[in-house]
Each structure stands twice: as structure tokens, then as C-alpha cells.
Amino acid sequence: MTEKSVTLNDIAKRLNYSTVTISKALRNHPDISPQTTKLIKSVAEEMGYTPNIMARNLSARRSNTIGVVVPKIAHFFFSAIIESIYDYAFNHNYEIILTVSQENAEREKRHIQTLLAMKVDGIIVSISQETKNYEIFETVRRRGVPLVFMDRIPAIENINTVQVNDREGAFKAIEHAIKLGYRNIAHFAGYSDINIGRERYYGFKDAMDQYNIPIKPEWVVAGEFGENHGYDGLMELHRQNNLPDLIFTVTYPVALGVYMAARELNLKIPDDIDVICFGNAKVQNFLSPPLSCVDQPTNLLASESMEILLENINSADGFEPRNIQIPTELILRGTCRKFNKE
Amino acid sequence: MTEKSVTLNDIAKRLNYSTVTISKALRNHPDISPQTTKLIKSVAEEMGYTPNIMARNLSARRSNTIGVVVPKIAHFFFSAIIESIYDYAFNHNYEIILTVSQENAEREKRHIQTLLAMKVDGIIVSISQETKNYEIFETVRRRGVPLVFMDRIPAIENINTVQVNDREGAFKAIEHAIKLGYRNIAHFAGYSDINIGRERYYGFKDAMDQYNIPIKPEWVVAGEFGENHGYDGLMELHRQNNLPDLIFTVTYPVALGVYMAARELNLKIPDDIDVICFGNAKVQNFLSPPLSCVDQPTNLLASESMEILLENINSADGFEPRNIQIPTELILRGTCRKFNKE
DNA sequence: CTGAAAGCGCTAACAT
DNA sequence: ATGTTAGCGCTTTCAG
């Protein structure tokens, strides 16, 4: 019934060759004559041979596998990125081991340990919203495993990073809003431990400062990156009877949370309260109203990360860490557009 | 610099034990005395030992790893399912190797071969929209690797399946529409080779038949599961000047495509043309208008699949294939609700 | 309670 | 062009 999988040895015996010859032939090693190679391949095929990747990796001391750690996947931003990563990996003959931290630092750490134990050739990580201890990344470095941080980046030196220009992106959004006439602007921000929380806030602040608009502390509310933050945030401001005219949210899910709360409170977007967010999702076009945002090119984030990682993997030694910044673009839709206010 | 990772042997030498003792101690084998175990563990910890999973698996002939093949991930349905699968796996100490076929049968096959080569303990697959050749699944069976099909299921015998009650779900949606007074109903369907295409169509047909409404062949248009199908479909019907009053789409992305086309054509949803779809995504609540749908409980689909798979893996032999059907629920929002028509 | 021997399936280095 | 030897790091008998 359960047929035992055929090994190099099985083929060797059948053909009266050594396993080495078989192994080489199957990998097109020039040692082996074309005819023999052909013969061996056809027999392998016929016998239904599949290499045992565990064994191969163990022996070859490289796995052709890349580990990925992301905080979430059921959000457009990450699922789009992951899809691109898979694509890139497929085209370059790499396997991906994807792990999900669920925004939990402990879990993130365990995942990275597992990836190390699996002897992945390199790791791409987007840190969780609560990651504050960076020891594990030191461990990775000491092990000599190439590492690229993408989008969510810890504050440590000498690392590969691929990110969007968060500060500039946020600045553009707020500047646009100000030019539209907005003054009462709130920011539902991320925590400042994490780059995207910090930088997007700075971008917001840059713009407000530049146009001499005072920032109301109660209107800068730091929190997580999910719907809850947006929902709770708006609910709270409403309870305080302290609503701004516009809310700039640190991520798209936070904006969705604002939409939820607004519906519940019977606030009309964008008339009663307007929204603009960082991060783009195809569906935002079809929200009611369509949501304006700062676009982050997910495919570029993914491909740049992979590219740098593979370079690092394939550069014997002394690879200089690279830091890539990808420009953002402001996409205007139903919210935060002048004509809505006319 | 690049520090070599520490092995059982390293610990053994340091402690003057054999590797076997170390190995056993680390796995809490009763052979080893509690004190020795404790000592060994602390030293292992101190030396920064990480097991080499490749080696462990090779030797233990099981990987504690499950392979997953899905057609897409940047769609809410799949990303939600995958997240649940990861969760379940994490709690049961399994690793997941996720692969994405991109709706491509060739790629799907290669992924499954890779998973076999990686010696995964079991596989969950949701087949691509174009998979017609089922040989590879036979191969999996012959290898004795437990296999569960989820949501998208091929027409073969004696397999584990976990799916939603597609026919009933579609029926409920159409029946509801009919009771609302709709007669001119189109169905943007999937291809009939695949269960979800076929069954959802049957559900549609059941309802139309039961209420004696003739089905217009031009209004049943089969296609893929992505946005394009919906977009092209509506465009084409519009070109033919042959618009229905309601479109029932086989998936949520297809409905999105309809939204896109409708916007372009200046058709108002739900007044000019109404939409209801199979498959739920949180964001549908915030579309304009909110989209009614047949809900598929993604977490149940995921957990049932994992549960059956693990059972199958752990049942020595003679496991009877199981077939799970999960009931659906009709969720009414902005579209396909009577009050819109009043 | 501890360890020696053997082997998982494969590949790299070195013969022949 | 082909094979021999050795070993990747771990676990599973089986002896002591």
C-alpha cells in the first residue's frame, strides 16, 4: 500500500551503478557521460524518484529555503507582499517558509529560532508591533544568517532594510490636507518604538510645523495597527466631544476601524469627519466613500527585499548592509479631496 | 565571526557524555536521570544550542511539517484561512510550508512534488481553477501521505474533504432574491470542472427551477474566480444591451469586478443593477453599497481541515476518508435587500 | 541510567 | 567516466 519512496540507492542497485553516479547524473554533473545521464534520468523518472530534500540539505549544508516572518497575513498589505515574495522565490528556485507572529513578540522570537533550526539560507522579517527586545536578531547575525528587515524595522545598526519613505509619505498626505484648508487634524498613530509609527508621526508633525498649525496632544493617539485602534480612537474622541475634522491613520486597517465607528456614531465621512490613511488596498476604491491614501508599492518592497537577501546570501563574506527607501505616492479618492468640501 | 552552530556533539564533549545521552536528555527521555537532564539542558541553553531540524527529521522520518497549497493568497478568503491554519499549527507544534499555485495547475503540481520531497507529514490543498489532471493526487496517495482537500475539491473518490455547503448556500441567496421580486437574475459562475463552480451553479438552478423562472443562457457566464471575470462579464452584457437586474457572483472578487465595471458604466448599485456574492470579507460591510453574501466560516474550514489531517496522520493505518460539510449563512447588507427597492 | 553501533539519504573530496 | 570513503547531525536499537 504505502509505497516506500525510492532513493538513489534503489536506482543504483537496479542499474548497477554507485549512488554517487546516480546523484551526479541527476544533477547534470559534467562527470557523467550524456548517455549515462540520460539513461539514469529516465529510469529515475520511471521509478518515480523524488529526492529527499532533508537529506540533500543536510549534506549540502544549504537549504535553498528562505524564512519569512510577518506580523499578520489577513491584511491586504501583507498578503500582497507575501504573494510577491512567493513569486520571486518561485522564479529563483527557492522555497519559502512563512511564519506569522500575530503581532506577538514572543511568537516572533520562537519563529526565528525555528527558522534557524531549519537552516534557512536567509530571513526576511517585518517585526511585530510589540517587538522591543532585539537580541534574537543579534543571534541571527552571529549565526551568519543573512537578514533583511522589511517595512517594519527595529532600531539597530548595520542591518539590511527595505522600506517606504514613511516620513515623506505622511508629510505629503498632511500637506495636501492643509492646502485643502484642514486645520483640525488628528493622527491615529502607531507606537513610537517602531519605525513606521515614529516616522509617520514625524511626517505628520513636519507638515503641521511647517504650516504653523499647533498639534493638539489629545488628537495624537498612539496604538496598534489593527481595526480596534481606529474604532476605539474615534469612539473615545466622540465621547470627549472633541472631534477633529480629519483623521490621518497610520495604517489602512486603522482607517477601516474609523469607518466602523463612524457608521455606528452616524457620522458621515467625509462630511462630518474625513479620513486619509497610510497604505493602499485595491478595495479602498470601493469603500464608501473611497479612501485616499499614501500608496506603498508592495511588489517593490517584496522584490527589493528578496533581491538584497539573495545578494547577501551569495556574497561569500563582507557584505555591506544595504538600506533601500522606496518613494510613496499620494492617491486621492473620495476622502480628503477638495471637491467633497465644495 | 560567523559562529558555527553548536551540535549535540559539542555539548557531549564539553560534558563528557555521549551524544546519545545529550539527545535523550534534551527530549526528556525517561532513561536519563532528572539531575543529568537538568544539567545538560542548562549547558545546552548556555551554549546556545539549536537542534538541526533537517537532521532530526531525516533521522526520525517525520517532519512535524504540513504542506499547504492554495491558489491565491491576496484575497480575503484565503488569507483568512491561511491565518487560521497557521494558528492551529502553532498550537499543535507543527510547521507549515505554504505554497501558492497562482491558479496554475502546472505550478500546483510542482509544489506538491516539492512538498513530497520535503517529507511533509500531510498536505492540505485547495485546487487551482484550472486543475483537471488529478494524477499528482494519486501519487500523494500512493506515497501514503495524508491529504485533505479544502473548499476547492477535485472529482475523485475516497478523499478527505472539508467544504462549505455550496449548493445550499447558493440556493438560499437566489431564493431570497426571488422572494424580493427579482426575476432577471444572472450568475457569473466558475467553471463546472471544479466543485465550487458546479455546486454554486446547481444551487442557483435549483432555486430558479423551484420558482419556475427560466434561466437565460446568456446570463450564466462561466469564468475564473478573479476580478476580471466580473468586470468583463458586466461589460459584455452591457455591450449586448442585455442587462439583468441582479448578478449572483461565484466569489467575492468577481463581485468586486462587477463593482468596478458598474462604476465605469455609471450603473448604480443596487438601483440599476444589484449584486450578491458567495464568500464574505470583513470589508464588504464598507463597500458602497455594502455587499450581501453567503458567508463561509473560514476559521471552521481551516480548523476542520487541520483536525482531520492530524487525525489521519496519527492513525496508523486504515483511516476512513472523511467528508465535512459546513453550513453557510446568508448575510444581508446594502445589496439584495428589499428596502433598497422601495 | 548510559553509551556504542548503525543508519536516515544525500553529497563533496578524493581516488581510480 | 565512475566509484570509494567519509560525514552532515540526529535518533533508534540494543548492550552494558
CA trace torsion A154, A157, A162, A166 (10° rounding): 60
Per-residue confidence (pLDDT) for residue A80, from 0 to 100: 95
Per-residue confidence (pLDDT) for residue A3, from 0 to 100: 62
The interface residues of chain A toward chain B in range 86-105, judged by CB-CB distance below 8 A, are 86-87, 90, 95-100, 102
Note whether A53 contacts B: Cβ–Cβ < 8 A: yes
Nucleotide in closest CA–C1' contact with B6: D9
Same domain, A138 and A185: no
Residue B340 lies in a domain: no
Note whether A303 contacts B: Cβ–Cβ < 8 A: no
Identify the top-confidence range among A284-298, A315-329, B13-27, B265-279. B265-279
Confidence band for A1, pLDDT divided at 50, 70 and 90:
very low
The interface residues of chain A toward chain B in range 213-272, judged by CB-CB distance below 8 A, are 256, 259-260, 263
State the total domains in chain A: 3
Stretch A318-329: mean pLDDT: 94
Which has the higher per-residue pLDDT, A275 or A50? A275
Per-residue confidence (pLDDT) for residue A61, from 0 to 100: 80
Same domain, B98 and B244: no
Please check the confidence at residue A48 and state whether its pLDDT lies above 90: no
Strand partners, B125: B69, B149
Please check the confidence at residue A340 and state whether its pLDDT lies above 60: no
Nucleotides of D under 7 A from a protein CB: 1-5, 7-13
CA B47 to CA B193: how far, in whole Å? 56
What is the nearest CA distance from B53 to chain A, expressed in angstroms? 5
Please check the confidence at residue A101 and state whether its pLDDT lies above 90: yes
Same domain, B115 and B37: no
Per-residue confidence (pLDDT) for residue A305, from 0 to 100: 98
Q: Is the CB of B165 under 7 A from strand D?
A: no
Same domain, B125 and B214: no
Same domain, A158 and A170: no
With CA atoms as reference, the chain B residue closest to A145 would be B2
Same domain, B104 and B90: yes
The set of residues, in sequence order, having a beta carbon less than 8 Å from that of A249 and lying 6+ positions away, is A187, A188, A230, A255, A257, A258, A275, A276, A277, A278
CA B311-B313-B319 angle, to 5 degrees, is 70
Least Cα distance to A328 among A291, A281, A296 occurs for A296
Q: Which of B275, B296, B317 is the last residue of a domain?
A: B296
Stretch A145-164: mean pLDDT: 96
Per-residue confidence (pLDDT) for residue B60, from 0 to 100: 81
Q: Which chain B positions have a beta carbon within 8 Å of A288's beta carbon?
A: 286-290
Q: Is the CB of B12 under 7 A from strand D?
A: no
Q: Which of residues 7-46 of A touch strand D (CB under 7 A)?
A: 16-21, 24, 30-33, 36
Least Cα distance to B48 among B21, B93, B94, B10 occurs for B10
- Asked if the Cβ–Cβ distance from B286 to A288 is below 8 Å, we say yes
Number of H helices, E strands in chain B: 13, 12
Least Cα distance to A123 among A106, A102, A105, A144 occurs for A144
Q: Which chain A positions have a beta carbon within 8 Å of B51's beta carbon?
A: 117
Residue A228 lies in a domain: yes
Q: CA A21 from chain center: how many Å? A: 43
CA B292 to CA A111: how far, in whole Å? 38
Q: Mean pLDDT of all residues in chain A?
A: 92
Domain containing B42 equals 8-51
Helix, strand or coil, per DSSP, at residue A319: coil
Please check the confidence at residue B1 and state whether its pLDDT lies above 50: no
Please check the confidence at residue B342 and state whether its pLDDT lies above 50: no
The residue whose CA lies nearest the C1' of nucleotide D7 is A59
CA A318 to CA A315: how far, in whole Å? 8
Stretch B62-73: mean pLDDT: 93
Residue B319 lies in a domain: yes
Per-residue confidence (pLDDT) for residue B316, from 0 to 100: 67
Per-residue confidence (pLDDT) for residue B339, from 0 to 100: 52
Per-residue confidence (pLDDT) for residue A31, from 0 to 100: 84
Residue B70 lies in a domain: yes
Same domain, B130 and B173: no
Residue A338 lies in a domain: no
Residue B43 lies in a domain: yes
Q: Mean pLDDT of all residues in chain B?
A: 92
Same domain, A231 and A307: no
Residue A259 lies in a domain: yes
Same domain, B106 and B175: no
| Contact indicator for A51, A19 with CB cutoff of 8 Å | no
CA B78 to CA B248: how far, in whole Å? 20
Least Cα distance to A124 among A325, A327, A308, A311 occurs for A308
Note whether B61 contacts A: Cβ–Cβ < 8 A: no
Same domain, B108 and B24: no
Per-residue confidence (pLDDT) for residue B286, from 0 to 100: 81
Q: Is the CB of B28 under 7 A from strand D?
A: no
Per-residue confidence (pLDDT) for residue B338, from 0 to 100: 66
Please check the confidence at residue B170 and state whether its pLDDT lies above 70: yes
Nucleotides of C under 7 A from a protein CB: 1-5, 7-13
Q: Model confidence over B178-232: pLDDT tens digits?
A: 999 999 999 999 998 899 999 999 999 999 999 999 999 999 999 999 999 999 9
Residue B87 lies in a domain: yes
A143: domain CATH number is 3.40.50.2300
Same domain, B92 and B179: no
Please check the confidence at residue A224 and state whether its pLDDT lies above 50: yes
Same domain, A210 and A247: yes
